[in-house]
């Protein structure tokens, strides 16, 4: 590993590699000029800056084709990409002539393109620009924004990163017995719970997996059959017990109010969970961990047996 001490010259490529150890999301920064021509580039230098006033920043290289357009524009937008938008990221990381061909987008306050399918966007007016070495820092004041619970595209050490677990990790717990897939679906400090109308037992929604290789999506399909349109981007826990393997995902509703009238399934406030009706101690433990982690917005992944296990690191792809 290269180390910079006093007097040692810094190799730009090596420094870029070191900066690359910091895992980020991926954004596309967009703007429009006075003629309505639109521009955009992929950036992972996005950072939130301030809540009051609402500020964020992104760095644009002075070598970028779009530098002048962005520094003369009165506003710009940040589009935070979903895990499925790698191709979009690659398109906007190129100097292609028409990066916007075949892409659905619309505009709000500033006229900067806001893409369909992103997990969040921020429409900003320019607050300040700071000249910084070979980049210009664009600081924007947020005028409007939206977000959803879909899974983010992430980037680390020059590669896209997945928040899922690798097949080999899943295999560790998926080695024997049948597979059941469950969900922690959160909506505004409430969690989706299932009640067995015969016994009164309360649990998290769970289903026998129909597709071993794509458990999250098979569960989404099963939930959809009962009227729940959910995003389940993150593995939350995987364990085995009594010859059954359990994999729980966490996520949210695709859109508020998509839960149809249903006698078994209901959202329950975190402070109103009927703990005595939950008979599976693994679910009690998981729910308590979830509520605690939700309050600090910092989630772990549990892998192991019912009583003891480990928190696994996320997987780096490619």
Ligand X SMILES: Cc1cc2nc3c(=O)[nH]c(=O)nc-3n(C[C@H](O)[C@H](O)[C@H](O)COP(=O)(O)O)c2cc1C
Give contact residues for ligand X (rule: CB under 6 A): 26, 41-45, 59-61, 64-66, 93-95, 155
Q: Which of 69/204 has CB closer to ligand X? A: 69
Q: Which of 84/94 has CB closer to ligand X? A: 94
Q: Which of 294/315 has CB closer to ligand X? A: 315
What is the closest distance, in whole angstroms, from the C-beta atom of residue 157 to ligand X in the complex? Answer: 11
Q: Could you please report the per-residue DSSP string of 266-285?
A: EEEEGGG--GGG---HHHHH
User: What's the CA gap between 70 and 65, in Å, rounded?
Assistant: 10
What is the closest distance, in whole angstroms, from the C-beta atom of residue 164 to ligand X in the complex? Answer: 19
Q: Which of 59/112 has CB closer to ligand X? A: 59
What is the closest distance, in whole angstroms, from the C-beta atom of residue 136 to ligand X in the complex? Answer: 9
Alpha helices in the chain (DSSP H): 12-19, 67-72, 86-92, 167-173, 215-225, 281-296
CB crowding 207-217: b at 16 or more within 10 Å, else e: bebeeeeebbe
Q: What is the dihedral of CA 120, 118, 150, 140, to 10 degrees?
A: -20
What is the closest distance, in whole angstroms, from the C-beta atom of residue 96 to ligand X in the complex? Answer: 8
What is the closest distance, in whole angstroms, from the C-beta atom of residue 200 to ligand X in the complex? Answer: 51
The pairs formed by 35-44 with CB atoms below 8 angstroms and a separation of 24 or more are 36/111, 37/69, 38/100, 38/105, 38/112, 38/113, 39/66, 39/69, 39/70, 40/66, 40/92, 40/99, 40/100, 40/113, 41/66, 41/92, 41/93, 42/89, 42/90, 42/92, 42/93, 44/155
Q: What is the dihedral of CA 83, 84, 86, 88, to 10 degrees?
A: -120
Q: Which of 44/151 has CB closer to ligand X? A: 44
With tokens 């964020």, the residue in question is 56
What is the closest distance, in whole angstroms, from the C-beta atom of residue 43 to ligand X in the complex? Answer: 3
With tokens 């679906």, the residue in question is 185
Q: Which of 31/215 has CB closer to ligand X? A: 31
Q: Which of 156/314 has CB closer to ligand X? A: 156
What is the closest distance, in whole angstroms, from the C-beta atom of residue 112 to ligand X in the complex? Answer: 14
């Amino acid at each position: 590993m290269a180390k910079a001490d006093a007097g040692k010259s810094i190799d730009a490529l090596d420094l870029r590699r070191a900066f690359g150890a910091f895992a980020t999301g991926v954004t596309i920064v967009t703007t429009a000029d006075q003629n309505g021509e639109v521009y955009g580039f992929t950036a992972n230098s996005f950072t939130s800056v301030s809540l009051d006033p609402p500020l964020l920043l992104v760095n644009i290289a002075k070598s970028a084709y779009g530098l002048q357009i962005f520094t003369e524009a009165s506003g710009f937008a940040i589009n935070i990409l979903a895990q499925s938008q790698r191709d979009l990221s690659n398109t906007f990381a190129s100097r292609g002539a028409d990066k916007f061909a075949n892409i659905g987008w619309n505009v709000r306050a500033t006229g900067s393109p806001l893409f369909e399918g992103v997990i969040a966007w921020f429409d900003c007016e320019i607050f300040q620009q700071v000249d910084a070495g070979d980049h210009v820092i664009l600081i924007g004041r947020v005028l409007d924004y939206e977000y959803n619970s879909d899974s983010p595209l992430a980037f680390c050490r020059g590669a896209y990163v997945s928040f899922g677990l690798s097949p080999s990790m899943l295999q560790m717990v998926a080695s024997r017995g049948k597979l059941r897939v469950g969900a922690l679906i959160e909506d505004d400090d409430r969690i989706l719970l299932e009640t067995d109308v015969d016994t009164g037992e309360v649990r998290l929604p769970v289903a026998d997996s129909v597709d071993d290789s794509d458990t999250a999506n098979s569960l989404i399909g099963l939930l959809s059959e009962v009227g729940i349109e959910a995003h389940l981007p993150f593995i939350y826990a995987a364990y085995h017990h009594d010859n059954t393997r359990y994999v729980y995902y966490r996520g949210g509703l695709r859109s508020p109010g998509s839960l149809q009238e249903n006698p078994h399934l209901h959202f329950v406030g975190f402070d109103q969970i009927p703990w005595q009706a939950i008979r599976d101690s693994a679910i009690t433990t998981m729910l308590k961990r979830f509520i605690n982690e939700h309050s600090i917005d910092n989630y772990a992944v549990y892998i192991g047996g019912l009583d003891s296990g480990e928190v696994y690191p996320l997987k780096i792809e490619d």
